[in-house]
Structure 1
C-alpha cells in the first residue's frame, strides 16, 4: 500500500511539474515572439490561465499532505490530548464532506459549460471546469491517505524527507 501511495504522490507531483513547465514555455515563447517579431500568440494568455487553474486544483492535495495550507491552532492547542484527537477527527470528517460536496458541484459546473468554447483555444469549457472535480477528488485521496496518522497524532511523515521527524499537518503548529 505504501508503494502505491508513493506512486500516486509522485504522479501528482510530476503532473504539476509538467503543467508548470508547459506554462513557462508558453509564456516565455510568447514574450520572446512579442519582442523579436512584434507579434504574439493569440492563445498564450488563455492557455497559461487554464494551466494555472489546473495546477491550483491539482496541487491542493499535495499542499494538504505536506501541511501547506493555512491552519489556526489556538483552539486545538488549548484542548487536552483527547480533545485534540476528537477535534482533528471532526476536522478530517468535515473536510471529507466538503471535498465530496465540491466534487459534485464541480461536475455540475463542468456539465453546464460543456457546450461553450474558450475564445482563443476553441476548446470546450468542460475541460477547464473539470479541474475542480479532479482537484477535489485528489484532495479526498490525499486526505484519506493521511487521515489516520493526522487524527491519531496531529502529524504526518514526509515521504521525501531524509529525516524521520514528524511534521505537523493543518490543525498543528508547523509544516
Structure 2
C-alpha cells in the first residue's frame, strides 16, 4: 500500500507543479497580450481557473502525507500517550468520513456535468469536476495509511 500511495503522491506532486507552471505561463502571456496588443484570449482566464482547481485538489494528498495540513495545536498538545493515539484515530475516522462523502459527491458532480460545457473553451465541465474525486480519493488513501500507522502504534 505504501508503494501505491508513494506513487500517487509523486504523480500528483508532479502534475501539481506542471499545473502551476502552465498557469503561470498562461497568465503571463495573457498580461503581455493585453498590455502590448490590447487582446485577451477568452480561454486564458477560464483555463487558468480550471488549472487552479486541479492543482488545489491534486495537492491535497501530497500536503497531507507530508504533514502540512493545519492541526489544532492546543488540543493535540494537551494529550499524550494513549489519549493522543485515540485522538488521532478519531481524527482519521472523521477525515475519512468527510473524504468518502467528497468522493461520492464529486462523482455525482462529474455525472451531472457531463452534458454541460464551459463557456470559453467549450469542453465538458465534467473534466473540471474530476479533480474532486481524484484529489479527495488520494487524500483518503493517505489518511487510511495514517490510520493504519496509528493502529500499529507507529509514528504518524
TM over 0.5: yes
2:111 corresponds in structure 1 to 111
Alignment of 1:90 onto 2:64: no
How far, CA to CA, are the matches of 1:145 and 1:14 in structure 2? 21
The structure carrying a bigger helix percent of its residues is 2
What SS class does the counterpart of residue 43 from structure 1 fall into?
A: helix
Q: How does 1:9-158 map to 2 (within 5 A)?
A: 9-150=9-150, 152=153, 155=156
Q: Unaligned stretches of 5+ in structure 2?
A: none
RMSD: 1.8
How far, CA to CA, are the matches of 2:7 and 2:74 in structure 1? 35
- Whether the 8 Å CA contact 2:92–2:146 is kept in 1: the answer is no
What SS class does the counterpart of residue 115 from structure 1 fall into?
A: coil
- Whether the 8 Å CA contact 1:85–1:153 is kept in 2: the answer is no
What SS class does the counterpart of residue 143 from structure 2 fall into?
A: helix
Cα deviation digits, residues 6-27 of structure 1 (max 9, x gap): 3332211111111111111111
Task: Please identify, of 138-147 and 51-60, the stretch whose mean Cα deviation from structure 2 is larger.
Answer: 138-147
Aligned-pair distance for 1:150?
Answer: 4.9
Size of the aligned set, in residue pairs, is 155
Q: Unaligned stretches of 5+ in structure 1?
A: 156-175
How far, CA to CA, are the matches of 1:88 and 1:4 in structure 2? 23
- Whether the 8 Å CA contact 1:58–1:135 is kept in 2: the answer is yes
* TM-score where L is the length of structure 2: 0.89
How far, CA to CA, are the matches of 1:123 and 1:35 in structure 2? 28
Aligned-pair distance for 1:4?
Answer: 4.4
Aligned-pair distance for 1:2?
Answer: 4.9
Classify 1:93/1:127 alpha carbon distance in 2 versus 1 (closer, same or farther; 3 Å): same
How far, CA to CA, are the matches of 1:108 and 1:6 in structure 2? 27
